[in-house]
Amino acid sequence: MKPHNNKLALALFAAGMLFSGISAAQTVNLQQAVDMSLSADPRIKEREALVEAARGLLAEVKGNEGWRISANAFIGLTKQVEGGFYQGGAYSGTTPRTDGDDWNGLSDWTHVELALIKPLYTFGKVDAYGEAAAGNIDIKRGDVRQSRAETVFDTKRAYYGYLTARDTRLFLEDMQSRLESSISRAQRALKNETGEVTQAELYSLQATRGLVGKYVHQARAVEKISLDGLKVLTGVGLDAPLSVADERLEPAPFPAAALADLQARALAERPEMQQLEAGLKAKRALVAAKKADLMPDIYAGVVGSYNYASRREHLENPHLYDPFNGGGLTPVVGIRWEGAFDVGSARVTQAQAELEALNQKKQFALRGIPFEVGEAYANAKANFDAQKDLAEGAASARRWVIAAMADFSAGLEKGDRLAEAIKSYVLAQTEYLRTVNDYNVNVAQIDKLIGEQK
């Protein structure tokens, strides 16, 4: 191949690698980031697995209504016996035999016993434990909803945090550039001894440059941390390229519903409230189950046993029974009662106490949840109003900086006044961005507190 062909192939290969890297990059908006996080978060999958485990527990409880089997088999040893039941080992006669301590040897002994039964009536045990297990499933489902809400909130916080840090960095880097131009002009004026700028004014500008530089470094760190957090939450991986679709940080819409409506919605739809109701249902069923444990079980089934010793003569007399030979199988109807009354009563008392504790927890939630919503709403309203005032203040500070820089370039403004204008603008703009971020997080928190799953 000719040299220029080699160069062409290399260029095409490099271009292909470049475009493949570009195509692999993902750009997501907030909703897409939330959807990706909900699909990727292993914490949600963990709690979903616990829901399946709770379903398995319910199936186990319901299985107690079905057939039960108890079987045992073993091979052992017993005394060898030859001959019949009568004296001398005869098979007929009038005097039963008495072998005493005579030893005739050993025989193998095979023993099998079997019981196949089905509960007919358990005094509500199975139903009560089943209801408690069903309540446990609802509790685990609530854990899944809580985990989803936490993931949504974490994703929104990371997304807004990244936008805030990025916009802050871009703004501060622009101010750095403007400061450098002003500092260069001041240094030239001092060098040429024009008298337009004093050494103190240069120091003031340089001090402002150091302060802005610190904020730039901090903003870069927060920007990286927030983006890395977003990568982890969305599941793309720390090394994968990821960017956001929003060009700038914007305030989220203020909740349209009134505070009272939001509080009522939280009490109705919050996962914790639904879990409390499920928990109360489960605890009531558990109390009933513990009381039912004090009662017997009525059952029906088939029981039998079989024994065989190859070196013991089999007795054909129906009035005699050799436990090492023979067997039987019969259908049965029975009653089984097992337990300790003091222990059973203590378990009932314990279950009732746990039910009362959960009732008290519900009473606290009925008061605490509206307070949480009200607190988040008040913070959101304060930050919503504050960011509007800060937006106006930052706009005015920007005009002040532009006018001060123009006057400074024309020799009509002092350097320390320009430095003061820049400081005011930096403070107003960064506070505006921070307040918008806080407000957006407040809105996301309200969504979480009322049980919103988006």
CA 360 to chain centre: 25
Is the Cβ–Cβ distance between 260 and 135 less than 8 Å?
no
pLDDT band, residue 25 (cuts 50/70/90): low
Average pLDDT, the chain: 87
Share above pLDDT 90 across residues of the chain, in percent, rounded to a whole number: 50
Residue of 151, 388, 76 lying closest to 251 (CA atoms): 388
If one compares 94 and 18, the residue with the highest pLDDT of the two is 94
- For residue 377, is pLDDT > 80? yes
CA 365, 366, 372, 373 torsion: positive or negative?
A: positive
Task: Report residue 199's pLDDT band, with 50, 70 and 90 as the boundaries.
Answer: confident
43-73 burial: b if 16+ Cβ within 10 Å, else e: ebeebbebbeebeebbeebeeeeeeeeeeee
Q: Please compute the mean of the pLDDT values over residues 82-99 and round it to a whole number.
A: 79
Backbone φ and ψ for 299, nearest 5 degrees, come out as: -140, 165
Question: Sorting pLDDT into bands at 50, 70 and 90, what band is 94?
Answer: confident
Predicted confidence at residue 305, as pLDDT, reads 94
The angle, 0 to 180 degrees and rounded to 10, between the axes of the packed helices 415-449 and 125-192 is 170
User: Which residues, in sequence order, are bridge partners of residue 331?
Assistant: 302
**pLDDT reading at 73 higher than 90:** yes
Reported confidence tier of residue 6, pLDDT bands at 50, 70, 90? low
Asked whether 62 and 130 are in contact (CB, 8 A), the reply is yes
**What is the band of 257 on the pLDDT scale with cuts at 50, 70, 90?**
very high
Look at 233-247, 306-320, 381-395 and tell me which has the smallest mean pLDDT.
306-320
pTM of this structure: 0.79
d(CA 346, CA 339): 12
pLDDT of residue 101: 73
Q: Determine what percent of the chain is predicted with pLDDT higher than 70.
A: 94
Residue 400 backbone phi and psi in degrees, to 5: -60, -45
276 pLDDT more than 80: yes
Domains along the sequence of the chain with CATH: 28-64+123-296+339-449 (1.20.1600.10), 67-121+298-336 (2.20.200)
